[in-house]
């Protein structure tokens, strides 16, 4: 691409970060226009690899450690520490090789509080330190965004969208391998009156108590979600009807302890796979019908 007769520098864009490689100057510039010194060819190759890895990365922390290994491989550094600070995450420090922050150099870097990428020896500075730091900070922000997109912000449980994915997966496994599970739907009876009588803070505290109790009781393979205002759902491998009374009692006790004046109860409905089917919509309908039959008792 050309602009005013001059070849424009190629750019790689990842979310809000743009890394620019300027072929005319032979330098690496980050989004703020800073030009770094060092081996620019190596820096260009490293940044290209890191951008590719970030696009494919599932976890931001894993990307940060991979970036530190790239720094060691592309420079003469024998050690590297990255210090970043992000809203909602606070200040965090990462050391190459997932090593602890011990020893005079690493501890001194962190205690000094200077953000950015630090290498040892100092003369082995990375030519693209600013861009590496920006990419790592972006990876950590993406981790937060990914978590928020999958979880309910109040209770921390899965949200409806991610629960539907879990349920579809469980149904596929039940159909293919015969792995049994129970789908439990939970409704908080009298929740509207809590908001009306005690205010929305008490209503939130009621939902938080149920969410905390569900998280506390989760076993390996269980999945819990808030799927509506006062509606929750569980996927319980090898669950059966016997678990419902004790689960209801634990949830009601948790609410009573957190909001004594709430006066709510819970209704539950269960559908079993594969014995009652492996279609997620049918199982959901069965569990919902049984929940409302219990509610009317």
Residues annotated as part of the active site:
230
Strands 223-226 and 116-120: unpaired
The token pair at 78 is: 């024998």
Ordered alpha helix ranges (H), 117-263: 129-150, 160-177, 191-198, 200-217, 243-258
CB 62 within 8 A of CB 131: no
CB 283 within 8 A of CB 171: yes
- The alpha carbon of residue 52 and the mean position of all alpha carbons in its chain are separated, in whole angstroms, by 20
What is the C-alpha to C-alpha distance for residues 66 and 79, in angstroms, rounded to an integer?
Answer: 13
What is the C-alpha to C-alpha distance for residues 10 and 46, in angstroms, rounded to an integer?
Answer: 15
For the chain, the first-to-last Cα distance in angstroms comes to 72
């Amino acid at each position: 691409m050309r602009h005013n007769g001059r070849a424009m520098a190629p750019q790689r864009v990842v979310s809000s970060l743009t890394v620019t490689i300027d072929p005319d100057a032979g330098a690496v510039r980050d989004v703020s226009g800073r030009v770094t010194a060092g081996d620019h060819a190596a820096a260009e190759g490293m940044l290209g690899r890191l951008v590719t890895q970030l696009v494919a990365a599932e976890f931001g922390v894993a990307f940060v450690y991979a970036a530190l290994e790239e720094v060691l491989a592309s420079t003469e550094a024998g050690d590297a520490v990255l210090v970043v600070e992000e809203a909602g995450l606070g200040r965090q420090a990462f050391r190459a090789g997932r090593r602890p922050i011990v020893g005079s150099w690493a501890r001194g870097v962190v205690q000094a509080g200077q953000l950015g990428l630090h290498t040892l020896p100092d003369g082995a500075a990375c030519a693209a330190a600013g861009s590496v730091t920006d990419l790592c900070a972006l990876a950590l922000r993406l981790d937060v965004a990914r978590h928020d997109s999958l979880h309910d912000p109040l209770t921390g449980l899965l949200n409806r969208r991610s629960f539907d994915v879990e349920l579809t997966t469980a149904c596929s496994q039940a159909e293919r391998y015969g792995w049994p599970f129970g789908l439990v739907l939970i409704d908080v009876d009298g929740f509207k009156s809590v908001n009306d009588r005690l205010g929305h803070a008490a209503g939130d505290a009621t939902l938080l108590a149920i969410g905390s109790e569900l998280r506390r009781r989760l076993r390996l393979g269980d999945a819990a979600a808030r799927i509506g205002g006062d509606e929750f759902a569980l996927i319980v491998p090898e669950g059966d009807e016997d678990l419902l009374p004790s689960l209801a009692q634990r949830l009601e006790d948790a609410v009573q302890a957190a909001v004594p004046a709430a006066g709510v109860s819970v209704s539950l409905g269960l559908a079993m796979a594969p014995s009652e089917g492996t279609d997620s919509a049918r199982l959901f309908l069965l569990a919902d019908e049984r929940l409302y039959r219990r509610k009317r008792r």
